[in-house]
Amino acid sequence: MNGDTLFSIGDLARRTGLTVKTVRFYSDAGIVPPTDRTPSGYRLYGTSAVARLDLVRTLRELGLDLATIRRVVDREVPLPEVAAAHAEALDVQIRVLRLRRAVLTAVAQRGSTPEELDLMHKLAKLSAAERGRLIDDFLGTVFDGLRTHPAFAAVVRSMTPQLPDDPDPEQVTAWVELAELFQDEDFRATMRQMAGQLADDRTPESASAVPRVLAETVRAQVVPALAAGIDPASPQAEPAVTAISAHYARILDRPDDMDLRGLLADRLHSMDDPRRDQYLRLLAVINGWPAPESLAPALQWSVRALRAGLPRERRAPDVHRTR
């Protein structure tokens, strides 16, 4: 054909490193059509077939299907467009594989049962939208009617888990535990009660304050007392108790008296739920935050100290939560 070099299937196979069978398959599929034929009917190919086969082999190694490859080599679709779409699909596959790897690693580390593996797999493979609905359902219950409250907007954000696209086994395990906690109806009710109490404690003047400030005040005042080994029922506990109750009195805009201290003791006791600490610990793992320090010892010390100063008939039993 006008002096152009022509190659047999065998020649193409040797030049491209493909097998004769593979070259014939691509030819039969119309991806590398013959340029001519010998008098005996054998197929012959031009020099462009070598480059075409090299491109086909590369695209196949990258995972593209034959129909798409044919459209690319025939210039029916731009290669950059196909590459971008395929790269996006591979990103999804990679995320799925990484998630599966993390689940299996977590199962191996925990020694999970088949039932636990099934639950972990179901919860871990939820899409971002499905995870979002699960989270919104929980936070919607806890902060029902409060999410637009200026004091709670930041709190809701700080309680929202964000599982990364490439979670490690610890994050997968934490997400599964948190998802199970979301569905604990008693925990949901307890958290809802805490949020409602904190909202009730907001006066118009303090409405923009972050509700967590009470817990932070307890931590700041009580942790040093705990470190010093001060008995909550001793006179040495009074400075910390006074500071906490004075702060709470400012929040409520009412006198710091026995009634207020009794109410504060009840508030702090209701906050002392180990599942709250568990939630914050799991949240930190998922979001990659520093591990939070448990507030339970400070809450329990504060409750005992506050109730120690109340008249005997007004002291509630000093019972700690054990859930």
Between 255 and 206, whose confidence is greater?
Answer: 255
| pLDDT(107) > 80 | no
- Could you tell me the sign of the dihedral formed by the alpha carbons of 64, 66, 72, 76, in that order? negative
Min mean pLDDT across 69-78, 85-94, 215-224 is at 85-94
Which residues are CB-neighbours of 131 under 8 A, at least 6 positions away? 163, 175
Min mean pLDDT across 53-57, 111-115, 317-321 is at 317-321
pLDDT band for position 173 (50/70/90)?
Answer: confident
| pLDDT(203) > 60 | no
- Taking the whole predicted model, whether its pTM rises above 0.85 is answered as no
- At residue 139, the 3 state secondary structure works out as helix
The distance from CA 79 to its chain's CA centroid, rounded to whole angstroms, is: 35
| pLDDT(225) > 50 | yes
CB 237 within 8 A of CB 230: yes
Confidence (pLDDT) at 212? 46
- At residue 37, the 3 state secondary structure works out as strand
Check residue 4 and report its DSSP letter: -
The CA-based diameter of the chain, rounded to the nearest angstrom, is 115
Question: Average pLDDT of 100-122?
Answer: 79
283 vs 277: CA distance, rounded Å:
10
Return mean pLDDT, the chain: 85
pLDDT of 179-202, one tens digit each? 889 989 999 999 998 888 777 766
CB 142 within 8 A of CB 191: yes
pLDDT of 134-164, one tens digit each? 999 999 999 887 766 666 777 888 899 998 8
Confidence (pLDDT) at 213? 67
Phi/psi for 43 (5° steps) reads -75, 145
Q: What is the CA radius of gyration of the chain?
A: 34
Confidence (pLDDT) at 62? 82
Min mean pLDDT across 12-16, 117-121, 190-194, 295-299 is at 117-121
Which residues are CB-neighbours of 165 under 8 A, at least 6 positions away? 95, 98
